[in-house]
C-alpha cells in the first residue's frame, strides 16, 4: 500500500503500461514538452521520447481519429483530450466512429483505444469549460465509459482500459487530482463495468461516481452524526452500467439518493432511478431523489457557480427527504 494522489495514480498507470507494452503510446495537446496541462504526463516525454509521447496540433478530431487509425494497426493509443469539453470537437470520431466501427464492419478488427478526458466544474472556467456531459457519451453502445472516484480505482481502471480491446472513454475530474488515498502496490487492474460499495451502511443507498463520491462521503459523515448510516455505491463505469450492487443495497435500505455533478435532465440519475424502479419496484419506500447540477450553463462567478453545483448540504437534504 502506498498513499498517493489521483494524479500520481493515473500517471503511474500510464507509465507502467507504457513500460510493459511498446504498443502503448500517448497523443494529445501538451502531453509532451509541457508535461500535461494537469501534469499527469510530467516526465514522460524525456523518458519515453517524442514518438511515444506525441504533442499534437489543436485538432481534436484528428487526435481521436488518428488514435482510431493507429489502434486499427494493432497499437494501443491513449488519446488525451485536454478537457472533456473539447470532446464535442471530436464528437463524430468518439460516438460515430470509435463506438461503431467494430460492429459495423462485422467484427473483423478490434479497436483498443483509450480516450482520456478531464471534466467537471468548480474552478470558475465558465460555461464552455466546466461541463460534466458524461451521460451524453454513455448513451452510445459500442463505447465504454469509465469515471473513477478514487486513486485506487483510477489506476486499476486505467490499466484495464489500456488492456481492453474496446474503445474506452476514461473521464477524470480536475478537482480530484489532489485527492490522496492508499493504492495497492504492484500491478493490478480494476474490472470495467463493475460498481462497488465504497462505504457500507444500512439506512439509505447513495448512488454516485467521480467527484460526487467525495461530496457524498462528506454528506455521509454528517449524516452519521445524526445516526444515519448511508451506504455509498460508486458506479465507476457508466457503460456498461452495473446495477448489481445498487439493487442489492436498495433491497436492504429501500431508499436511494442519486448524486451526479452533471445536469439533471437526461442525466445519469434518471437512468439509475429508472432501473432501480424497474428492478426493485417492490422494495421502494420513498421516491428516489436525484441531486444534480442546476439546469443552467455554469456561470463564471464563484458564488453562482457553487450555487449551481451539488453541495454536501444538498445530498444531506435529499437523504432526509427519503428517510
Tell me how far the alpha carbon of residue 203 is from its chain's centroid: 27
Q: Interaction with other proteins in 242-301: which residues (CB under 8 A)?
A: 294-297, 299-301
Q: Interaction with other proteins in 167-196: which residues (CB under 8 A)?
A: 192-193
Q: Cα(10)–Cα(26) distance, rounded to whole angstroms?
A: 13
Q: Cα(153)–Cα(147) distance, rounded to whole angstroms?
A: 9
Using rule CB under 8 A, residue 225 touches its own copies: no
Residue 287 DSSP code: P
Minimum distance, C-beta of residue 33 to ligand TPP, in the bound complex (Å): 13
**Segment near other proteins (CB under 8 A); pick from 93-101, 253-261, 262-270, 284-292:** 93-101
For 249, the enclosing helix (H) or strand (E) is helix 244-253
**Segment near its own copies (CB under 8 A); pick from 40-48, 140-148, 186-194, 246-254:** 140-148
Q: Interaction with its own copies in 270-299: which residues (CB under 8 A)?
A: 270-271, 273-275, 277-278, 281, 286-290, 295-297, 299
60 carries an active-site annotation: yes
Using rule CB under 8 A, residue 265 touches its own copies: yes
Among 130, 128, 162, 123, CA closest to 146: 162
Which residues of the chain form contacts with ligand TPP (CB under 6 A)? Answer: 29, 58, 60, 82, 86, 89
In the set 36, 77, 122, 142, which binds its own copies (CB under 8 A)?
142
Catalytic residue among 60, 80, 97, 260: 60
Q: Cα(222)–Cα(248) distance, rounded to whole angstroms?
A: 24
DSSP per position, 77-123: EEEEESSGGGGGGGHIIIIIIITTHHHHTTT-S----EEEEEE---S
Using rule CB under 8 A, residue 181 touches its own copies: no
Q: Interaction with its own copies in 197-216: which residues (CB under 8 A)?
A: none
Minimum distance, C-beta of residue 193 to its own copies, in the bound complex (Å): 13
278 carries an active-site annotation: no
Q: What is the largest CA-CA distance in the chain?
A: 59
In the set 140, 229, 251, 283, which binds its own copies (CB under 8 A)?
140
Return the CA Rg of the chain: 19
Q: Cα(245)–Cα(207) distance, rounded to whole angstroms?
A: 10
Minimum distance, C-beta of residue 279 to other proteins, in the bound complex (Å): 19
Under 8 Å between Cβ of 238 and 139: no
Q: Interaction with other proteins in 199-228: which residues (CB under 8 A)?
A: none
Q: What is the dihedral of CA 4, 9, 12, 16, to 10 degrees?
A: 120
Distances 96 to 69, 92, 316 between C-alpha atoms, Å: 14, 5, 39
Using rule CB under 8 A, residue 142 touches other proteins: yes
Residue 66 class from Cβ within 10 Å (0-12 exposed, 13-18 middle, 19+ buried)? Answer: middle
Q: Interaction with its own copies in 73-112: which residues (CB under 8 A)?
A: 85, 88-89, 91-92, 95-97, 99-100, 103-104
In the set 28, 35, 151, 310, which binds other proteins (CB under 8 A)?
35
Residue 260 binds: one of its own copies, other proteins, ligand TPP, none (C-beta under 5 to 8 A by kind): none
- Enumerate binding residues for its own copies (CB under 8 A): 85, 88-89, 91-92, 95-97, 99-100, 103-104, 126-128, 133, 135-136, 138-142, 238-239, 241, 262-263, 265-271, 273-275, 277-278, 281, 286-290, 295-297, 299
The catalytic residue positions are 60, 129
Amino acid at each position: 500500500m502506498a498513499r498517493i494522489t489521483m494524479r500520481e495514480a493515473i500517471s503511474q498507470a500510464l507509465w507502467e503500461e507504457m513500460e510493459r507494452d511498446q504498443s502503448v503510446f500517448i497523443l494529445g495537446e501538451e502531453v509532451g514538452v509541457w508535461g500535461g496541462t494537469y501534469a499527469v504526463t510530467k516526465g514522460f516525454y524525456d523518458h519515453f521520447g517524442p514518438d511515444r509521447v506525441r504533442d499534437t496540433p489543436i485538432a481534436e478530431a484528428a487526435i481521436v481519429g488518428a488514435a482510431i487509425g493507429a489502434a486499427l494497426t494493432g497499437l494501443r493509443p491513449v488519446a488525451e483530450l485536454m478537457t472533456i469539453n473539447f470532446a464535442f470537437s471530436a464528437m463524430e470520431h468518439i460516438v460515430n466512429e470509435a463506438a461503431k466501427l467494430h460492429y459495423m464492419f462485422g467484427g473483423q478488427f478490434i479497436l483498443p483505444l483509450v480516450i482520456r478526458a478531464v471534466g467537471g466544474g468548480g474552478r470558475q472556467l465558465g460555461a464552455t469549460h466546466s461541463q460534466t456531459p458524461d451521460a451524453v457519451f454513455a448513451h452510445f453502445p459500442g463505447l465504454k465509459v469509465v469515471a473513477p472516484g478514487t486513486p485506487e480505482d483510477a489506476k486499476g481502471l486505467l490499466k484495464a482500459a489500456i488492456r481492453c480491446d474496446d474503445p474506452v472513454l476514461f473521464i477524470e475530474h480536475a478537482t480530484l487530482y489532489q485527492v490522496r488515498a492508499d493504492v495497492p502496490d504492484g500491478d493490478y487492474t480494476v474490472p470495467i463495468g463493475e460498481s462497488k460499495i465504497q462505504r457500507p451502511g444500512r439506512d439509505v443507498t447513495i448512488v454516485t461516481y467521480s467527484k460526487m463520491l467525495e461530496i457524498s462521503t462528506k454528506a455521509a459523515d454528517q449524516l452519521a452524526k445524526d445516526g444515519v448510516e448511508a451506504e455509498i455505491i460508486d458506479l465507476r463505469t457508466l457503460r456498461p452500467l452495473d446495477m448489481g450492487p445498487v439493487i442489492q443495497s436498495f433491497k436492504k435500505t429501500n431508499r436511494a439518493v442519486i448524486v451526479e455533478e452533471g445536469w439533471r435532465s437526461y442525466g445519469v440519475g434518471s437512468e439509475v432511478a429508472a432501473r432501480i424502479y424497474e428492478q426493485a419496484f417492490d422494495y421502494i419506500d420513498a421516491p428516489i431523489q436525484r441531486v444534480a447540477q442546476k439546469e443552467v450553463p455554469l456561470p463564471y462567478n464563484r458564488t453562482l457557480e457553487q450555487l449551481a453545483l451539488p453541495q454536501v448540504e444538498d445530498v444531506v437534504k435529499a437523504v432526509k427527504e427519503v428517510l
